Amino acid sequence: MLCYHDCRPEIDALLRRFKPLCTARVESASPIPGSYWGAPEAGLIGSVIYLRDDTPVHSALHEAAHFVCMDAARRAALHTDAGGGFAEEDAVCYLQILMANQLATVGAERLFVDMDAWGYSFRLGSTAAWFERDAADARDWLLRHGLIDTAGCPTWKLRA
């Protein structure tokens, strides 16, 4: 599984585009503040995403996508549990894949493999199948909230 240490500068630069989101590096073997699933999974408190070198890239991107997709009121009170409904969770998964495509060392194909290995489950049996054939509602949700453009590229904006 691809981890934060494999592409730290790229991830940090990508996530900074979603101001005020910023990354904070956690020392090896230390607990990760704000981690919903526990270490090594990413943590999220306020506008800070906490990452250890062994944090999987899919986890870093997923938590960042939660920050982007949640409304401003939830973002203001954010601590560990990003919340949100099913439609938003699908949009988060879709956006994390689009973000992976912005990283030269990752890409969607690699993220599909890592998401499947971690245990993301989709109706069609794999992340790739979901993304390619069953995610129109997630894409529409992101478009409706101005988080991607019609070409499917992130707009680097946060949901209002």
pLDDT in tens, 118-133: 988 787 889 999 999 9
Residue 59 within any structural domain of the chain: yes
pLDDT at 129: 95
Q: Average model confidence (pLDDT) for the chain?
A: 96
Identity (one letter) of the amino acid at 35? S
101 and 58 housed in the same domain: no
Tokens, residue 115: 């998401």
Q: Which of 76, 96, 111 is the last residue of a domain?
A: 76
51 and 107 housed in the same domain: no
Residue 151 within any structural domain of the chain: no
12 and 68 housed in the same domain: yes
Whether 129 and 108 have beta carbons less than 8 Å apart is answered as no
Q: Which of 36, 54, 76 is the last residue of a domain?
A: 76
Kindly state the average pLDDT of the residues 74-92: 95
pLDDT at 125: 87
50 and 109 housed in the same domain: no
9 and 67 housed in the same domain: yes
- How many domains does the chain contain in total? 2
Residue 124 within any structural domain of the chain: yes
pLDDT band for position 98 (50/70/90)?
very high
Q: Domain range spanning residue 36?
A: 4-76
**CA 112 to CA 118: how far, in whole Å?**
10
Closest CA to 66 of 35, 37, 89: 89
Q: Which of 45, 76, 107 is the last residue of a domain?
A: 76
Closest CA to 22 of 3, 47, 57, 54: 47
101 and 140 housed in the same domain: yes
Kindly state the average pLDDT of the residues 139-146: 98
